[in-house]
C-alpha cells in the first residue's frame, strides 16, 4: 500500500478543519477544528517520516501533541471565563470590539 | 546504546534564554509561597533583574557565532542584535506593566477567574492589588521571543511560537477595567492565533516532506536541488509564511490586531506592538534569508503584494479610526508593511535596515502607549479620540511628548521615524524594489493625516467638559516615557552608531 493515500487523508482532514473554523459559530467547535488541523499535520509528518526514511517527523509529532495539550489548557480557560459571564460560547456574541 | 551521541550544548551562548526561563519558573514558585502583600515588589524586581541579567549575558557573549544543541539554535549577528533589542524593549514594557501609581492596584485584574459583574467582581474592582502572575507570564513570553528569533529549525520555531503566544493570550484577558472587552480580545487572539499556528505547522509538515529534514541548512540545500518537488516547496513556504505574517500583523492576516490592541491591557498592548513585532520579523528574516534564499524570485512578488496591501490597509483605515488604541493598531499594521519592504530588499542593507526599524519603532510605540495609559477619567483610560481634544491646554507636557511621538510615526526629520523609513526605503531601492518604495512613500503621506489630526485636536481645540485629566505617572511609567522619547530623538539625530551596529550584525550563519 502506498503511503500517498495518508497524505491525501491528511490534506482532507486539514481542509475540513480549516473550513470548519470559518463556518462554525461555537468557540468549542472552532477549537476542535483547530485540533483537527494540528492532527492532520501530525499525520502528514508521520507519513513523510515513513516516505523519507527518517525519524524526525515522528519526533516532531510528539512535540506537537505536547504543544496542543498546552494550547487546550489556555484555550478552555479563556472560553470558560467568557462563558461564565455571557452564558454562551458562540463567537458571534462576542462582538463588543469593532470599528 | 553505548554509542549514543549527545548533542553539544553551548550553555554560555544560550545563557540569556536560560536566565529568563529560570527566572520565570522561579516566579511561578514565588507566587505559591510568598504572602500576597509582598508579591508585587518581589516579582517585579525578579522580572526586571532577570531581563537586565539576560541583557548583560547577551553583551558578554556578543561575539559568539555558533549553531548549538544539535543545530536547533543559531547564535549569530542578527540573533545577538535582536536578543539585545527584545530585552531592552522588554525592560521598558516591564516598567509599564509594573506601574501601580496611576491606578490603584495596577492595570491588571486581581482574580481573572471571577465572573464579570458578580458581587465578588464589584468588590475586587475597588482597588485590590492586581494579579502578580503577569510577571512570570511576561518573562515566559519574552523568553519564547528570544528562542523564536534564534530558531534554526522549524520545529524549534514552532515550539518557540507557542511559548511566546500562549502567555500573551492569557495576558490579554487580564485587564482590570472593561473586562468583557479584554476577555473578548483574548478569545479572538487565541482562536485566530492558534488557527495561524496550525497553518504554520502544516507548512512545516510539507517542508519536511520536501526537504527530508526541518533544519534551515538542509532546506537551503534542498531548495538548490534542480529536481525539487515544487508543490511541497511552495505550498509549505506559503503556509509557514502565513503563520509568521499573522504574528507580524501583515494584511490580510491583520484582522485580529485592532480588536486585540484595543481590548488588551495597555501595557500588554505595548509589549505586543514592540517585542512581538521584533520577534515575528526576526523569524521571518531568518526563514527567508537562510532557508528560502534560492527561490527569492518566486516569493518576492507575492510578499510584495502583501506588503502593499498591508501598507494601504493600515494607512487608509487609520484615517477612519475614532479610538486612540485602534489608531495605533492600524499604524502598527502599516509599519508592518514598511518592515516587509525592508525584508523584501533581500540584501544585507535590507537585513540591517529592518533591524534598525524594529528598534526605532519599538521605543516610539512604547512611549505612545505609555501616554495612552495616563490619559484617564473616572471610567479608566479615555481612549476615544474626541476625548483627547484640548489636552494640550490642560497638560502641555504630556500632549507635547505625544505630539513628538506622533511626528516620529509620521516620519518627520530629526526623529527615529525618518531615519528608519529612509533606511528601509533606501535598502529596497538598492534591492530593485522601487514599486514597493513608491507605495510606501504614498501611504506614509496618507498615514501622516491621522497623526497630524491628533496633534491638531490636542492643541487647537478648546478643552471641553469631558476632556480627561492626565494622571501623574509613577516612577516606572516616567522612566519608560523618558527612555522612549530619548531613543526616538537620539536615533533621529545621531543614527550612525546603531546603523553601524546593525551593519556589523547583518550576517546570518547557515
Number of domains composing chain B:
1
| Minimal-distance CA residue of chain A relative to B319 | A99
Query: Topology of domain A4-86, per CATH?
Result: Helix Hairpins (1.10.287)
| Minimal-distance CA residue of chain B relative to A94 | B184
pLDDT for the residue numbered B405: 95
**Residue B87 to residue B148: CA distance in whole angstroms:** 13
φ, ψ (nearest 5 deg) of residue B320: -90, 0
Instruction: Return all residues near A64 (Cβ < 8 A) that are at least 6 apart.
Output: A38, A41, A42, A45, B158, B201
pLDDT for the residue numbered B122: 82
Is the sign of the CA dihedral A55, A56, A57, A60 positive or negative?
A: positive
Residue B363, CA atoms < 13 Å, CB-side half-sphere: 27
B3 in a structural domain = no
**Residue B223 to residue B210: CA distance in whole angstroms:** 9
Mean pLDDT, chain B, rounded, equals: 92
The H-or-E segment that residue B470 falls in is strand B469-470
* Predicted confidence (pLDDT) at residue A84 exceeds the cutoff of 80: yes
B209 and A CB contact within 8 Å: yes
Q: Which residues of A69-81 are buried (b: 16+ CB within 10 A; e: fewer)?
A: eebeebbebbbeb
B17 in a structural domain = yes
Contacts of A64 in chain B (CB under 8 A): 158, 201
B166 and A CB contact within 8 Å: yes
B74 DSSP 8-state letter: E
Where in the sequence is the domain holding B388, given as residue range(s)? Answer: 11-505
Neighbours of B227 (CB within 10 A): 5
pLDDT for the residue numbered B446: 94
pLDDT for the residue numbered B2: 65
Is the sign of the CA dihedral B210, B211, B215, B216 positive or negative?
A: negative
3-state secondary structure of B8: coil
Instruction: Return all residues near B106 (Cβ < 8 A) that are at least 6 apart.
Output: B40, B98, B99, B100, B129, B130, B176
B176 in a structural domain = yes
| Chain A interface, best mutation among B205, B215, B258, by max A CB count within 10 A | B205
| Chain A interface, best mutation among B198, B235, B253, B260, by max A CB count within 10 A | B198
Average pLDDT by consecutive 10-residue portion of chain B (510 residues)?
A: 80 94 96 90 95 96 89 93 96 93 84 83 80 94 96 95 96 90 93 95 95 93 89 94 94 93 95 95 94 92 96 94 93 95 92 95 95 86 86 88 94 92 94 94 94 91 77 89 95 93 88
A85 and B CB contact within 8 Å: yes
Q: Say if the Cβ atoms of A44 and B212 lie within 8 Å.
A: no
Contacts of B183 in chain A (CB under 8 A): 78, 81-82, 85, 94
**Residue B340 to residue A29: CA distance in whole angstroms:** 34
Q: ipTM of this model? A: 0.96
**Residue B295 to residue B311: CA distance in whole angstroms:** 24
A65 and B CB contact within 8 Å: no
**Residue B476 to residue B484: CA distance in whole angstroms:** 12
pLDDT for the residue numbered A1: 65
Residue B111 cell numbers, joined: 482574580
Q: Say if the Cβ atoms of B155 and A79 lie within 8 Å.
A: no
**Residue B10 to residue B152: CA distance in whole angstroms:** 15
Q: How confident is the model at residue A85 (pLDDT cuts 50, 70, 90)?
A: confident
Q: Which long-range contacts (CB under 8 A, 24 or more apart) does B313-321 make?
A: B313/B251, B313/B252, B313/B254, B314/B251, B314/B254, B314/B443, B314/B447, B315/B443, B315/B444, B315/B446, B315/B447, B316/B446, B318/B447, B318/B450, B319/B446, B319/B449, B319/B450, B321/B258, B321/B385, B321/B450
Mean pLDDT, chain A, rounded, equals: 91
**Residue A53 to residue A60: CA distance in whole angstroms:** 14
Domain ranges of chain A: 4-86
The H-or-E segment that residue A18 falls in is helix A4-23
Neighbours of B393 (CB within 10 A): 15
Q: Are B281 and B358 in contact (CB under 8 A)?
A: yes
A67 and B CB contact within 8 Å: yes
pLDDT for the residue numbered A99: 59
pTM of the model: 0.95
Contacts of B112 in chain A (CB under 8 A): 81
Indicate left, alpha or beta for B380 from its phi (over 0: left) and psi (-120 to 50: alpha): left
Q: Distance, in angstroms, between B9 CA and closest chain A CA?
A: 20
- Identify the CA nearest to A70 among candidates A24, A30, A38, A33: A38
pLDDT for the residue numbered B483: 95
- Identify the CA nearest to B107 among candidates B506, B487, B480: B480
Judging by DSSP bridges, how do beta strands B375-377 and B73-75 pair with one another?
A: unpaired
A69 and B CB contact within 8 Å: no
**Residue B42 to residue B36: CA distance in whole angstroms:** 11
**Residue A49 to residue B209: CA distance in whole angstroms:** 8
Q: Say if the Cβ atoms of B190 and A67 lie within 8 Å.
A: no
Amino acid at each position: 500500500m502506498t503511503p500517498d493515500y495518508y497524505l491525501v487523508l491528511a490534506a482532507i482532514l486539514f481542509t475540513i478543519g480549516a473550513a470548519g473554523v470559518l463556518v462554525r459559530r461555537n468557540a468549542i467547535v472552532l477549537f476542535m477544528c483547530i485540533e483537527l488541523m494540528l492532527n492532520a499535520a501530525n499525520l502528514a509528518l508521520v507519513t513523510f517520516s515513513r516516505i523519507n526514511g527518517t525519524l524526525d517527523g515522528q519526533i516532531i509529532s510528539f512535540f506537537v501533541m505536547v504543544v496542543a495539550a498546552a494550547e487546550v489548557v489556555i484555550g478552555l480557560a479563556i472560553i470558560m471565563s467568557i462563558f461564565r459571564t455571557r452564558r454562551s460560547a458562540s463567537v458571534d456574541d462576542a462582538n463588543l470590539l469593532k470599528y | 546504546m553505548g554509542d549514543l551521541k549527545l548533542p553539544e550544548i553551548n550553555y554560555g551562548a544560550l545563557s540569556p534564554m536560560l536566565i529568563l526561563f529560570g527566572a520565570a519558573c522561579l516566579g511561578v514558585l514565588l507566587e505559591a509561597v510568598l504572602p500576597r502583600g509582598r508579591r508585587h515588589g518581589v516579582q517585579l524586581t525578579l522580572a526586571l533583574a532577570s531581563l537586565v541579567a539576560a541583557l548583560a549575558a547577551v553583551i558578554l557573549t556578543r561575539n559568539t557565532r555558533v549553531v548549538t544543541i544539535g543545530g536547533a539554535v543559531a547564535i549569530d549577528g542578527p540573533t545577538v542584535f535582536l536578543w539585545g533589542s527584545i530585552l531592552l524593549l522588554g525592560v521598558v514594557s516591564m516598567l509599564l506593566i509594573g506601574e501601580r501609581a496611576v491606578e490603584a492596584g495596577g492595570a491588571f485584574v486581581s482574580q481573572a477567574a471571577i465572573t464579570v459583574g458578580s458581587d465578588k467582581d464589584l468588590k475586587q474592582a475597588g482597588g485590590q492589588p492586581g494579579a502578580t502572575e503577569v510577571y512570570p507570564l511576561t518573562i515566559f513570553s519574552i523568553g519564547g521571543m528570544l528562542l523564536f528569533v534564534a530558531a534554526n529549525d522549524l520545529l524549534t520555531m514552532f515550539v518557540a511560537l507557542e511559548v511566546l503566544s500562549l502567555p500573551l493570550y492569557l495576558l490579554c484577558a487580564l485587564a482590570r477595567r472593561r473586562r468583557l472587552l479584554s476577555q473578548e480580545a483574548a478569545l479572538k487572539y487565541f482562536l485566530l492565533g492558534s488557527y495561524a499556528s496550525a497553518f504554520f505547522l502544516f507548512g512545516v509538515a510539507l517542508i519536511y516532506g520536501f526537504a527530508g529534514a526541518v533544519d534551515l541548512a538542509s532546506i537551503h540545500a534542498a531548495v538548490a536541488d534542480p529536481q525539487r518537488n515544487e508543490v511541497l516547496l511552495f505550498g509549505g513556504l506559503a503556509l509557514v509564511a502565513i503563520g509568521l505574517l499573522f504574528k507580524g500583523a501583515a494584511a490580510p492576516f491583520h484582522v485580529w490586531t485592532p480588536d486585540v490592541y484595543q481590548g488588551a491591557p495597555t501595557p500588554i498592548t505595548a509589549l505586543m506592538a514592540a517585542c512581538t513585532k521584533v520577534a515575528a520579523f526576526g523569524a521571518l528574516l531568518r526563514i527567508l534569508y537562510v532557508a528560502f534564499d534560492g527561490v527569492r524570485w518566486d516569493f518576492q512578488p507575492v510578499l510584495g503584494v502583501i506588503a502593499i496591501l498591508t501598507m494601504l490597509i493600515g494607512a487608509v483605515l487609520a484615517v477612519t479610526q475614532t479610538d486612540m488604541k485602534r489608531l495605533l493598531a492600524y499604524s502598527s499594521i502599516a509599519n508592518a508593511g514598511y518592515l516587509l519592504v525592508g525584508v523584501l530588499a533581500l540584501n544585507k542593507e535590507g537585513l540591517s535596515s529592518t533591524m534598525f526599524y524594529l528598534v526605532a519603532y519599538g521605543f516610539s510605540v512604547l512611549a505612545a502607549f505609555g501616554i495612552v495609559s495616563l490619559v484617564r477619567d473616572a471610567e479608566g483610560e479615555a481612549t476615544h479620540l474626541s476625548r483627547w481634544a484640548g489636552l494640550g491646554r490642560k497638560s502641555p507636557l504630556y500632549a507635547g511628548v505625544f505630539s513628538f511621538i506622533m511626528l516620529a510615526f509620521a516620519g518627520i526629520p530629526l526623529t527615529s521615524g525618518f531615519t528608519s523609513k529612509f533606511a528601509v526605503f533606501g535598502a529596497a531601492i538598492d534591492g530593485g524594489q522601487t514599486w514597493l518604495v513608491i507605495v510606501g512613500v504614498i501611504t506614509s503621506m496618507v498615514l501622516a493625516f491621522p497623526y497630524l489630526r491628533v496633534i491638531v485636536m490636542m492643541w487647537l481645540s478648546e478643552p471641553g467638559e469631558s476632556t480627561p485629566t492626565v494622571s501623574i505617572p509613577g516612577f516606572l511609567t516616567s522612566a519608560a516615557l523618558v527612555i522612549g522619547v530619548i531613543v526616538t530623538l537620539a536615533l533621529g539625530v545621531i543614527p550612525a552608531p546603531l546603523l553601524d551596529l546593525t551593519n556589523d550584525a547583518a550576517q546570518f550563519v547557515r
